[in-house]
Amino acid sequence: MLEQRIQRQFFDSADLKYQAAEALSRPIADAAQALLGSLTGGGKVLVCGNGGSAADAQHFAAEFVGRFERERPGLAAIALTTDSSILTAIANDYAYEQVYAKQVQALGQPGDVLIAISTSGNSANVLAAVRAAHERELTVIALTGRGGGALATALADTDVHICVPHERTARIQEVHLLTLHCLCDAVDHQLLGEQDPA
């Protein structure tokens, strides 16, 4: 029955979130501290990904620049997925693999953070962005699944890897979104202290 199939989706998603809670809470906390250190030091956050991960990048930047659940001054975040002129110019003049790396090279400064989102960990343009981030002395927060792919071995010791323990793209993306909300909440908590959301 269709209803049972739909219920299975909910149950599978909930089961993964329970499993991931313990495994991912430490790296998510480390990522929140990296974001807080950058922002309070005058830095900014760059975010990139493809497809659903591009949507997550934009979602996260919107929560930072606008607000998450509580009123506060906007936080500096840029989704590298949004400027069609930049994306198409770089893809046309160089290669699609460079669409995020060129932006990191142009916008990234030492002390900034790059959030690199790839469910497989193998997206060539995200890997190129990570290499560019290291060259510009940015800290990288990688959101992956499926063991982390090539991205897992591309990270530096000072980077943070949040790897969802699952193989299915939809489930990984659901935990990525929860992770991004956890990061927003953690940063707000550190900046604003204990308050009820507006």
Quick one: pLDDT band at residue 43, thresholds 50, 70, 90? Answer: very high
pLDDT tens-digit profile of 5-36? 999 999 999 999 999 999 999 999 999 999 99
- Is 148 annotated to bind a ligand? Reply is no
pLDDT tens-digit profile of 75-102? 999 999 999 999 999 999 999 999 999 9
pLDDT above 60: residue 112: yes
Domains belonging to the chain, first-starting first, are 2-192 (3.40.50.10490)
- Is 63 annotated to bind a ligand? Reply is yes
- Is 125 annotated to bind a ligand? Reply is no
What pLDDT shows up at residue 9? 97
- Is 22 annotated to bind a ligand? Reply is no
- Is 38 annotated to bind a ligand? Reply is no
- Is 181 annotated to bind a ligand? Reply is yes
- Is 59 annotated to bind a ligand? Reply is yes
What pLDDT shows up at residue 194? 73
- Is 166 annotated to bind a ligand? Reply is no
Q: Calculate mean pLDDT across residues 30-50.
A: 98
Quick one: pLDDT band at residue 39, thresholds 50, 70, 90? Answer: very high
Kindly write down the DSSP assignment for every residue of the chain, as one continuous string.
-HHHHHHHHHHHHHHHHHHHHHHHHHHHHHHHHHHHHHHHTT--EEEE-STHHHHHHHHHHHHHHS-SSS------EEETT--HHHHHHHHHHT-GGGTTHHHHHHH--TT-EEEEE-SSS--HHHHHHHHHHHHTT-EEEEEEEGGGHHHHHH--TTSEEEEES-S-HHHHHHHHHHHHHHHHHHHHHHHH-S----
Angle (deg, nearest 10), helices 2-40 and 169-192: 40
pLDDT above 70: residue 134: yes
The sign of the CA dihedral 172, 150, 34, 129 is negative
- Is 105 annotated to bind a ligand? Reply is no
What pLDDT shows up at residue 196? 60
- Is 118 annotated to bind a ligand? Reply is yes
What pLDDT shows up at residue 106? 98
Quick one: pLDDT band at residue 154, thresholds 50, 70, 90? Answer: very high
